[in-house]
């Protein structure tokens, strides 16, 4: 009844597991060797006095400062304050950026009318606008959240618009030939096809949010990780300053890791774009 | 094959196509270039028609008009004696590229057309499963399109089109992107599908042998504005590419294109 399949599958899903498993230690070293080397260099530079230990304290002092800060709850308050600012701004940017992007990507005239304005806003550094936001919104939380929101909005918005505009016209036509209406084309073709681009935007936005968070917290804040970095430097608590910097790096890695995990779950079909 | 022609538009006959004065122009370098001029053609229900011609002759344009993806400048397409407007449930299109949705499995891709037409998810999947078995991909239901070879992906596209049980199957160079071996297998497959499903099949191709292998009639379009001609292919089925009549037919058709 059915014919033999002469052609074989093009390729199996790409997977690192196909390779012969490297010895665990070697695999670990090839991945993290340079990070370890960097930390060793730091330690050596500090211990052997290549750089003044007051400027570049040994790592165990940084670790101790981090532990003290977390155990005493001082740094925990800062983390909470920072997460709240970045979180609200990021959520607002995503909540506005994705729907607006989906709409703009679909409606050519709207996109053409709004694009020059968007480009103007995007090219204007959010940090340059921060004083304006402070004038308008005061030096409190609102201006901080707003400047983060402002900077975070554009990556997600532009990535979403790009994703929608790049959806393969042929797939849309295919769906239409099966009688799909506009809403069905959107829900069944445009939206899923845009998800990988949207994730690229989300990851860019998350990075931007943390970047702006620190800048915003360095001006007129009394808590937050960015405040702590500046404050520790003023008070010459250099280990604490580095502890706060490491905390920031960890926060960035965690945010990115979370988004990558989500992306893997939501778009298994496009792993090569991950 | 001629018996249906004597009973036009009878309720039992489904999938009959008529073209009436069909014309379409496209703007090219600032002026309108006519691609199709006053095409009149009757296609019987259950007939297999191949459309051939040099590139730019309007083969694909004609198929798009039939599919309802474009509208003619003048004239009309009648299906079962009713003029069409836009796409319709009695037609399904198979393209040169499989046009599978990369985020859906083979099973969900085949069920896609049914779901768009309002069939419930469970029912669509059950029917899709049967179609997938029919094109010999039962073992690949859960695979994603990027895991398939070109030939397999095209089978999925064919299964998706068949799943909606169309009266008319419109194929736009469906095997044009496949390698020679796969192409031969798929031609046999299309012949079988056409025979078993009793659909009207309208096939655009640039492969004259494919046209003779599959079609009851070959419609030859030209680019010089001369009227299209139809050539009947009166060869017994299943067709043998090496039979003298087949070879002679191919030679005749190639002569039409000035290729000897």
B150 touches chain A (CB under 8 A): yes
Tell me the CATH architecture of domain B1-90+169-177+200-260.
3-Layer(aba) Sandwich (3.40)
Residues written for chain A: 274
Confidence band of B20 (pLDDT split at 50, 70, 90)? very high
Please tell me which residue of chain A has the smallest CA distance to B113.
Answer: A178
Nearest to A174 by CA among B156, B214, B72: B156
pLDDT tens per residue, range A89-102? 999 999 999 999 99
Q: Tell me if A232 sits within 8 A of A238, measured CB to CB.
A: yes
> What is the predicted pLDDT for the residue at B176?
87
Instruction: Quote the minimal CA–CA distance from A183 to chain B in Å.
Output: 11
Nearest to A242 by CA among A7, A65, A49: A65
The count of other CB atoms within 10 Å of the CB of residue B232 is: 11
Which has the minimum average pLDDT: A11-25, A50-64, A211-225, B176-190?
Answer: A11-25
Confidence band of A271 (pLDDT split at 50, 70, 90)? low
Instruction: Quote the minimal CA–CA distance from A12 to chain B in Å.
Output: 6
Domain ranges within chain B, ordered by starting residue: 1-90+169-177+200-260
Question: Would the CB atoms of B147 and A176 count as touching at under 8 Å?
Answer: no
pLDDT tens per residue, range A33-84? 999 999 999 999 988 888 888 889 999 999 999 999 899 988 899 999 999 9
> What is the predicted pLDDT for the residue at A2?
43
Residues of A in contact with B60 (CB under 8 A): none
CA dist B34 → A107, A216, B222, B224 (Å): 31, 63, 12, 10
pLDDT tens per residue, range A188-237? 999 999 999 999 999 999 999 999 999 899 888 888 999 999 999 999 99
Provide the percentage of residues in chain A whose pLDDT is more than 90: 62
Segment B177-198 shows an average pLDDT of 89
Question: Would the CB atoms of B149 and A8 count as touching at under 8 Å?
Answer: yes
Provide the percentage of residues in chain B whose pLDDT is more than 90: 60
Please tell me which residue of chain B has the smallest CA distance to A1.
Answer: B134
B181 touches chain A (CB under 8 A): yes
> What is the predicted pLDDT for the residue at A272?
54
Question: Would the CB atoms of B146 and A174 count as touching at under 8 Å?
Answer: no
CA–CA dist A53, A64 (Å, integer)? 15
> What is the predicted pLDDT for the residue at A53?
84
pLDDT tens per residue, range B121-153? 999 999 999 999 988 899 999 999 999 998 899
> What is the predicted pLDDT for the residue at B178?
86
Asked whether residue A11 carries a pLDDT value surpassing 60, the answer given is no
Asked whether residue B58 carries a pLDDT value surpassing 90, the answer given is no
Asked whether residue B3 carries a pLDDT value surpassing 50, the answer given is no
**Whether the bond into B238 is cis, omega within 30 of 0:** yes
Asked whether residue A13 carries a pLDDT value surpassing 60, the answer given is no
> What is the predicted pLDDT for the residue at B7?
43
* Residue predicted with more confidence, B225 or B10: B225
Question: Would the CB atoms of B144 and A192 count as touching at under 8 Å?
Answer: no
Q: What is the mean pLDDT of chain A?
A: 87
Q: Where are the alpha helices (DSSP H) in B45-120?
A: 59-67, 106-116
For residue B163, the SS3 value is helix
Query: Kind of pairing, strands B48-52 and B74-79?
Result: unpaired
Q: Tell me if B39 sits within 8 A of B242, measured CB to CB.
A: no
Provide the percentage of residues in chain A whose pLDDT is more than 70: 91
Confidence band of B14 (pLDDT split at 50, 70, 90)? confident
Tokens at B115, concatenated? 């779901």
Domain ranges within chain A, ordered by starting residue: 59-273
Question: Would the CB atoms of A6 and B147 count as touching at under 8 Å?
Answer: no
Q: What's the CATH number for A59-273?
A: 1.10.3720.10
Instruction: Quote the minimal CA–CA distance from A201 to chain B in Å.
Output: 19
Question: Would the CB atoms of A192 and B101 count as touching at under 8 Å?
Answer: yes
Please tell me which residue of chain A has the smallest CA distance to B131.
Answer: A2
């Amino acid at each position: 009844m059915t014919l033999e399949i002469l052609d074989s599958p093009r390729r199996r899903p790409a997977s690192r597991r196909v390779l012969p498993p490297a010895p665990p230690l070697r695999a670990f070293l090839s991945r993290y060797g340079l990070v370890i080397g960097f930390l060793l260099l730091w330690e050596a530079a500090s211990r052997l006095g290549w750089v003044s230990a007051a400027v570049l304290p040994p790592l165990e002092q940084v670790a101790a400062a981090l532990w003290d800060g977390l155990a005493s709850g001082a740094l925990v308050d800062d983390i909470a304050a920072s997460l709240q600012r970045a979180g609200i701004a990021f959520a607002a940017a995503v909540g506005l950026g994705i729907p607006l992007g989906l709409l703009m990507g679909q409606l050519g005239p709207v996109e053409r009318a709004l694009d020059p304005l968007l480009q103007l806003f995007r090219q204007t550094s959010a940090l340059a606008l921060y004083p304006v936001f402070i004038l308008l919104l005061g030096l409190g939380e609102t201006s901080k959240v707003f400047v983060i929101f402002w900077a975070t909005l554009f990556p997600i918005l532009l990535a979403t618009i790009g994703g929608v505009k790049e959806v393969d016209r042929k797939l849309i036509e295919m769906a239409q030939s099966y009688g799909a209406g506009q809403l069905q084309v959107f829900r069944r073709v445009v939206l899923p096809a845009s998800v990988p681009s949207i994730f690229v935007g989300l990851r860019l936005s998350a990075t931007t949010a943390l970047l702006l968070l620190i800048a915003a917290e360095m001006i007129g804040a009394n808590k937050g990780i960015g405040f702590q970095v500046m404050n520790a430097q003023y008070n010459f608590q250099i280990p604490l300053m580095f502890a706060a910097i490491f905390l920031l790096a960890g926060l960035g890695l965690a945010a990115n890791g979370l988004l990558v995990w989500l992306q893997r779950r939501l778009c298994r079909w496009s792993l090569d774009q991950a | 094959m001629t018996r249906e022609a004597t009973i036009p538009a009878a309720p039992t006959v489904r999938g009959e196509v008529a073209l009436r004065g069909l014309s379409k122009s496209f703007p090219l370098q600032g002026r309108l270039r006519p691609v199709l001029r006053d095409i009149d053609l009757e296609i019987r229900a259950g007939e297999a028609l191949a459309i051939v011609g040099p590139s730019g002759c309007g083969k694909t344009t004609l198929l798009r008009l039939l599919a309802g993806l474009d509208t003619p400048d003048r004239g009309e397409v009648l299906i079962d004696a009713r003029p069409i407007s836009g796409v319709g449930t009695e037609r399904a299109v198979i393209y040169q590229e499989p046009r599978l949705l990369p985020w859906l499995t083979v099973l969900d891709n085949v069920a896609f057309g049914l779901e768009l037409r309002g069939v419930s998810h469970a029912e669509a999947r059950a029917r899709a499963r049967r179609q997938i078995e029919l094109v010999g991909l039962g073992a690949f239901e859960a695979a994603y399109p990027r895991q398939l070879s070109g030939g397999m992906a095209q089978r999925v596209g064919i299964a998706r089109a068949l799943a909606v049980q169309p009266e008319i199957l419109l194929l736009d160079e469906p095997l044009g992107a496949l390698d020679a071996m796969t192409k031969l297998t798929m031609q046999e497959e299309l012949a079988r599908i056409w025979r078993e499903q009793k659909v009207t099949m309208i096939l655009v191709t640039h492969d004259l042998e494919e046209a003779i292998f599959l079609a009851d009639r070959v419609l030859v379009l030209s680019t010089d504005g001369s009227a299209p001609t139809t050539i009947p292919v009166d060869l017994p089925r299943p067709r043998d590419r090496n039979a003298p009549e087949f070879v002679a037919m191919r030679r005749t058709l190639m002569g039409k294109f000035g290729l000897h």
